[in-house]
A and B are shown apart, each in its own frame.
Chain A
Amino acid sequence: MITRLIALGTILFVFSAWPHHNMSATFDLNNRVTLTGTLTKFDWRNPHIELFVEAKGDKDQTETWSVEGPPPVFFRDRDVSKSDIEAGLGKTITVEASRARDGSRWGLLRTLTLPNGKLVSACPQNC
């Protein structure tokens, strides 16, 4: 990934990945939330993955959060596949995310802890 970024910045490689929207404009990287809850759904496609997590809110109410992550290839490079995420459906995961600036229950993934304990960091891209 780091090679891709360097290549992008300097020699305009023939094939290049582009962010789908500006992360720091959409998400406040200084405002984080940690969610431990049930993985209910996910979308494992470009340009970025999306995880849906049901977690308890401040008043013990159930809240559904949507957390956006890097593209699937980012996880592929870290030996995490779609089947690893599928295996987590209905189970407890923990995500740390930067909250959306609009205050909605939407975040940008910083770290993901799978039910088997595997920790994946989306930094430095998402930090």
Chain B
Amino acid sequence: MKLSPRLLIVTAAALCTALLLAPDHGWGQTPTDEKAERDRATAAAKAQNNAQAFEANARTLTVFDRQGKTVATVGPRAIYNTPVFSPDHKRLAVSKTDLDKENSDLWVFDVATGKAIQLTSSQSRESTNAPAWSPDGGHVAYVALRGGNFGIYQKASDGRGDEELLYKLPGTGTITDWSMDGKYLNFFSTDLSGGTLYALPLDAAGERKPIEVYKSPKQIQGGRFSPNDRFVAYFSNESGRNEVYVRPFDPSAGPGGPATRQWQISDQGTAGMAFWRRDGKELYYLGADRGIMSVSVSTAPAFEAGKPKVVFRPSEEIAISPGTASISRDGERFVIAVPPPRLRQLTILDRQGKVVKTVGEPGVYGQPGLSPDGTRIAATRTDPKTGNLDIWTWDIATGKGYAVTDSVWPDFSPVWSPDGKQIAFVSTREQYSGIYRKAWDGTGEEELLFRYTPGAGIGFSDWSPDGKFLTFSTGVLLMVPLSDNEKPLDRKAIEWMREEYDVFGGRFSPDMRYLAYASDEINSQSTDVYIRPFDASKPEAPGAGPVVRVTRDGARGFTWRRQDGKELYVLTRDWEIAAVDITTTPTLQAGSPKVLFKLPGPLVASSPEGVSRDGQRFVFAMPVTTTTASR
């Protein structure tokens, strides 16, 4: 293998780092020394995690006009959420996350100059978010976690003075609006058990008590008052999908009010947000297809609404969600906290990291994996218009794509069947996550293989080479035996490994005598790869024999797909692909990781099957610009 000078430097640096960080159990080291060393390694891993998480998630506050043209970017890149224009749209209040302190605070930016003031000062592991401006722009209300309790607070928007607790929330809540007359804050609380819209009176004497505006067994979010405070707009999934609704608001009518009537505003679903224009003549929301939508409305004497129209649709490169976008009161400016580009190109690399082939069109892809015969790719694909997450496959030779799934439910974690004819995947449908299988080309009906506990997620990682076990993790590593005589809903997950630390990503060895997995046993901020014996006749625990630690400097992922089982491939913490020699006779042993090539940076590379059976080809969803530059 020929390494470039850069790779040699990286490898040498990694080795030096490894030597510096590797635990030394030699003479003279006390338990205190060991703890200090562990703490240093944990701190170093956390700093690296934070730096990479920042690069992958930092957003740019970008202001658009009604034509979708960028008119300004505001402030530096950061991890922003819930940007909200001041009433005169000259300032933006936004929540900013500090990864090192593990907290978030509100900042107020001047849109024209980008200058900012930090409005709040959270302690470590506290949070501040969901800002709402007072009608005169003099104050900002927000939800903050302080001393273990969430509360609704306000503070002067110039940062002066102390924050004032307006209401101690019994649980959680999210503020979305401050009424135009200044008398109410609108907030909601919603979860799988239902949702409630509240109005918090600000001018009431004594202890403030929220008014229940609307309660539903379905989820309700994002309530906002009409400018004349007679109506409230919100979105809810009560029809089976999220739609925008309007209902009367009458705080004197008691809980729920007399408002039995509501109007549906959106007609093709919504991804959230419902904003009124200051004159009450237009409502805006985010369409299910990511379009910024507007609807002509009137609120006096009675409520009337027209047909939704598209204002503009952000480019497919821009991920947009209700928590990262909002609209100015005059309806002329739209702010989106724009994340890093998300378009990817499915790309086949050789063992030196050279691009061998690109497959299909650029898109929003993840978790790519190669079929056992190396002729096809399976990956997740996010539809740029609907946002639906589905499983697709591609023929590498022709580039032709096949939709294996096409549903509103999120489908992910594709794993090829041992014979390459089917794809197993996870689908989350309402409160249940299950593992399903379907033909690789999307034909025929899907089949449920296993359904898990309500509300529980599934980290599906492998299908055994004999086809008789699925393995997934929840921090615990579990096995699902696939016996023919059992109905899917009767199948139970068996705990293979349940410890004080996380165990993830089980991968069977090709001969099924071993299972490799990742764990944070040593360092809570970094995972390493281990191998233990697997006994198919006793799937309730690892088989007899020693555990072998494969990596010592951390790993982001790994796969054990080479047909002969003699190499295991590791994605290092520095985004390198390294090969590890594995021998199983006479005893199980793992060699030192040897770097094959380095990836350009954080990638969605989480497929358990991203390497060919001969270990010569790797598939990744590469950033489009990088791919283009490499060609």
Contact = CB atoms under 8 A, between A and B. Distances in A.
Given A6-B97, A18-B459, A73-B524, A46 B502 contact: yes
B171 A98 contact: yes
B113 interface: no
Contacts of B50: 3
A127 B150 contact: yes
Contacts of B172: 29, 127
Contacts of A88: none
Interface stretch (B303-311, B399-407, B449-457): B449-457
A25 B454 contact: yes
Given A45-B500, A121-B148, A127-B150, A18 B192 contact: no
A46 B524 CA distance: 13
B457 A6 contact: no
A92 interface: no
Contacts of B505: 14-15
Interface stretch (B200-208, B530-538, B601-609): B601-609
A31 to B, nearest CB: 8
A49 B475 CA distance: 12
A113 to B, nearest CB: 11
A6 B150 contact: no
Given A46-B474, A47-B476, A71-B475, A3 B500 contact: no
Contact of A21 (B127, B171, B455, B504): B455
Interface in B184-236: 189, 191-193
Contacts of A124: 125, 127, 145
Nearest to A15: B504
Contacts of B272: none
B74 interface: no
Interface residues of A, number: 46
B318 interface: no
A25 B518 contact: no
Contact of B102 (A2, A28, A45, A110): A2
Interface in A35-85: 44-47, 71-73, 76-77, 82
B456 A21 contact: yes
Given A21-B454, A46-B498, A10 B504 contact: no
A20 B556 contact: no
Contacts of B189: 30
Contacts of B504: 15-17
Given A19-B457, A25-B193, A26-B455, A12 B171 contact: no
22 contacts: A3-B46, A6-B57, A6-B79, A11-B602, A12-B367, A14-B505, A15-B527, A15-B557, A17-B475, A19-B455, A20-B474, A26-B455, A29-B171, A32-B170, A44-B500, A47-B474, A72-B500, A77-B524, A82-B500, A98-B171, A110-B148, A127-B145
The 9 lowest CB-CB distance pairs between A and B, nearest first, are A22-B455, A14-B557, A18-B457, A24-B191, A30-B171, A29-B171, A46-B475, A25-B192, A15-B504
Interface of A: 1-3, 6-7, 10-26, 28-32, 44-47, 71-73, 76-77, 82, 96, 98, 101, 110-111, 121, 123-124, 127
Given A17-B474, A21-B453, A30-B171, 6 more contacts: A7-B49, A15-B527, A25-B192, A72-B500, A82-B500, A96-B148
